[in-house]
Structure 1
Amino acid sequence: MNTSASLRTLSSSASADDVAECIDRDGGVIVANLIDERVMDEFIADLRPHFDRQTFGTGFNGVRTRRCNALLQHSDRTVDLMLAPSFLNVAERLLVHDGVWSGSMADGSTVHKQRVRPTIQLSVTQAIELWPGQKAQEIHRDDSMYYTRHPGRPTLVQALFAGTRYTRDNGGTLVIPGSHHWDDERIPKLQETVAVEMPRGSALIYVGGLYHAGGANVTEDERRIAVAVSYTLGYLRQEENQYLSVTPERALQLPQRVRELMGYRLCAPFCGWVDMRDPMDWLEAQGNNANSSASYRPVTGGV
């Protein structure tokens, strides 16, 4: 294990520029005490009944690890994690990019070009309880599901919130600082990793190209809880299908910004529509009676 390199730790009041700068350079950063202790207490209490119904995983998912998914369905406090400014603002800064949509009249007489910017959307919510005896996970990149080529523009930004303290002994996440700059041929090695250690309520924020792994829990009786929340671009598929994981009835109880981030928002120029309409209108129509005539905003453009 590498003891000469580590990720920088910033305070929860650090600017989005400072957080993004660290991630650009190292692939990740620790933001200390990002979530209030009381909020984390309520969040873990909400999840405990769901955790206790889970069985241990297999293989990559951990033979001494239990996972709880669909966190928005189970706890209102998931919103606090999603909207933490040091996370959400930086995810938007790192992911959103300019693009150009263009088209012309059938006879070629008029060419129309429009600069557009994509949305970001929630990709995964998962709480991970690592029990004593769990061995270190396989070193991997989270953005491999998007077939992302490295180095290159990030397609995923993830936060691992510390639901318990993170230590080297209880399975603190192993990372390889700077590995998001590596190409796809370089093979990561365990001796290049460094263990993330941080207090409860802190968060490791990183891009999907950073090589990392869950550490080994060598304690006798300490369970380590991490809460994974990630954002990707609005035109990519979510890792966790939010439309099926979270019921429409539950989504309607959540703040509008959260519903937008779940994917109930059109990604410019016109990705994600329902019957050529903005998906938020479809969702809001579900909150009325079945015969309600919602005021739809039609999608413009397209064939």
Structure 2
Amino acid sequence: MPSATELEPVVDILERDGAIIIEDFADATTFRGLWEDLGPALDAAGHCNKGYDGHRTRRVSSLLARTDHLVPVITQPLYLGAARRLLQRPGHMWVGRSRIEVTPNIQLSATQAIQIDPKQGKQPLHRDDALHLRQHPGPPSRLQLMLALTDFTQENGATLVIPGSHHWDDETPPRYDMTTPAAMRAGSALLWQGGVFHGGGANTTDSPRVSLTVSLDLGNLRQEENQYLAVPREKVLTYPEELRRLLGYDQCPPGVGWFEMQDPQLALVHDDLEEARNAAAALAQH
């Protein structure tokens, strides 16, 4: 779909097929800035030492500590909008005899730049939401994004996806002959639900395949990447409040993530924890 499409058909496709490619997802300024900020780090990174991560693959994490140009990627309306529509589903809970409606929020879970070098083989097919020991089928808990920083082709390791596999149960194993390569131009993005089986393809060319990936999860789950350690407080304060909350400085209804029974933003805007605690105590008295 083109980046100018409406949100509704994107959500419909994600619900039906589990994955979609958005063309021209990143504008030229964002794309150039990401390369300038992350390219040198990828060049300096060694190949991974675990087979699952790829012995001919380079990975760089803590991206929001490394580049400001990731902000428009995370907050791109089709990605953030689709994540909110898919994940923030109303539910209810009983407190005594009161039936309370509750809608969870979402949070940034993991960020990573990935370079698949020549001679890298196929990655094992997997579900990203398996990290949270999810049962399938079930309500979605993650929406993943992969932005192509180079063209993705079947030959250079385009991500292999099994459309519709988010509807499968937990006893159906994935096979490579079921996959479709997510071929796309640089600047385009693949979005997929956490329950979709996928994996990096084999790079049989002479050039690397480069991308970055971002995941948005339900706010009541533990983040895959520890954003409180990955992004220094000084850097977090430079970002808009929406992104600070996505980083985890927020409360997920009905009550996960609080600080001194108050909004964890207090711990950011005050110079030290004692000052933040005093501010929280003052709020509690009102």
Q: TM-score range by the shorter chain?
A: over 0.9
The match for 1:170 among 156, 159, 179 is 156
The count of aligned residue pairs is 283
User: For residues 218 and 251 of structure 1, do their structure 2 counterparts lie closer, same or farther at Cα, with a shift above 3 Å needed?
Assistant: same
Which one-letter code corresponds to 2:147 in the other structure?
Answer: F
Which one-letter code corresponds to 2:125 in the other structure?
Answer: I
User: For residues 215 and 284 of structure 1, do their structure 2 counterparts lie closer, same or farther at Cα, with a shift above 3 Å needed?
Assistant: same
Identify the residue that residue 32 of structure 1 maps to in structure 2: 23
Identify the residue that residue 45 of structure 1 maps to in structure 2: 36
CA apart distance, 1:276: 1.9
Share of identical aligned residues, percent? 40
Preserved contact between residue 101 and residue 269 of structure 1 (Cα < 8 Å): no
CA apart distance, 1:289: 9.6
Identify the residue that residue 45 of structure 2 maps to in structure 1: 54
Q: Which segment is superposed worse, 272-281 or 202-211?
A: 272-281
The match for 1:254 among 219, 239, 246 is 239
CA apart distance, 1:36: 0.9
Equivalent position SS for 2:261: coil
Identify the residue that residue 201 of structure 2 maps to in structure 1: 215
Query: Under a length normalisation based on structure 2, what TM-score does the superposition of the two structures give?
Result: 0.94
Alignment of 1:220-231 (within 5 A): 220=206, 222-231=207-216
**Is 2:2 the partner of 1:11?**
yes
Larger radius of gyration: 1
Identify the residue that residue 64 of structure 2 maps to in structure 1: 72
CA apart distance, 1:290: 6.6
Provide the rounded CA distance (Å) in 1 between the counterparts of 2:59 and 2:266: 33
**Is 2:264 the partner of 1:276?**
no
CA apart distance, 1:291: 4.8
Q: Which segment is superposed worse, 72-81 or 41-50?
A: 41-50
Equivalent position SS for 2:265: helix
Which one-letter code corresponds to 2:155 in the other structure?
Answer: D
Which one-letter code corresponds to 1:53 in the other structure?
Answer: A
Provide the rounded CA distance (Å) in 1 between the counterparts of 2:259 and 2:45: 35
CA apart distance, 1:293: 7.3
User: For residues 294 and 44 of structure 1, do their structure 2 counterparts lie closer, same or farther at Cα, with a shift above 3 Å needed?
Assistant: farther
User: For residues 299 and 183 of structure 1, do their structure 2 counterparts lie closer, same or farther at Cα, with a shift above 3 Å needed?
Assistant: farther
CA apart distance, 1:292: 6.9
User: For residues 55 and 114 of structure 1, do their structure 2 counterparts lie closer, same or farther at Cα, with a shift above 3 Å needed?
Assistant: same
Give the aligned CA root-mean-square deviation in angstroms.
1.8
Which one-letter code corresponds to 1:268 in the other structure?
Answer: P
Preserved contact between residue 278 and residue 299 of structure 1 (Cα < 8 Å): no
Which ranges in structure 1 are unaligned for 5 or more consecutive residues?
Answer: 1-9, 105-110
Identify the residue that residue 108 of structure 1 maps to in structure 2: none
Equivalent position SS for 2:99: strand
Identify the residue that residue 84 of structure 2 maps to in structure 1: 92
Preserved contact between residue 127 and residue 225 of structure 1 (Cα < 8 Å): yes
Provide the rounded CA distance (Å) in 1 between the counterparts of 2:124 and 2:9: 30
Identify the residue that residue 166 of structure 2 maps to in structure 1: 180
**Is 2:94 the partner of 1:102?**
yes
Provide the rounded CA distance (Å) in 2 between the counterparts of 1:166 and 1:52: 19
User: For residues 283 and 184 of structure 1, do their structure 2 counterparts lie closer, same or farther at Cα, with a shift above 3 Å needed?
Assistant: same
Provide the rounded CA distance (Å) in 2 between the counterparts of 1:214 and 1:91: 22
The match for 2:251 among 248, 266, 275 is 266
Provide the rounded CA distance (Å) in 2 between the counterparts of 1:261 and 1:125: 12
Provide the rounded CA distance (Å) in 1 between the counterparts of 2:220 and 2:35: 32
Runs of 4+ in 1 over 3 A off after TM superposition: 288-300
Which ranges in structure 2 are unaligned for 5 or more consecutive residues?
Answer: none
**Is 2:208 the partner of 1:232?**
no
Provide the rounded CA distance (Å) in 2 between the counterparts of 1:204 and 1:151: 22
Preserved contact between residue 168 and residue 195 of structure 1 (Cα < 8 Å): yes
Which one-letter code corresponds to 1:254 in the other structure?
Answer: Y
Once the two structures are superposed, what CA deviation does each residue of 1:159-197 show, in whole Å capped at 9, x if it has no partner? 111111111111000011111111111111111111111
Query: Under a length normalisation based on structure 1, what TM-score does the superposition of the two structures give?
Result: 0.89
Equivalent position SS for 1:114: strand
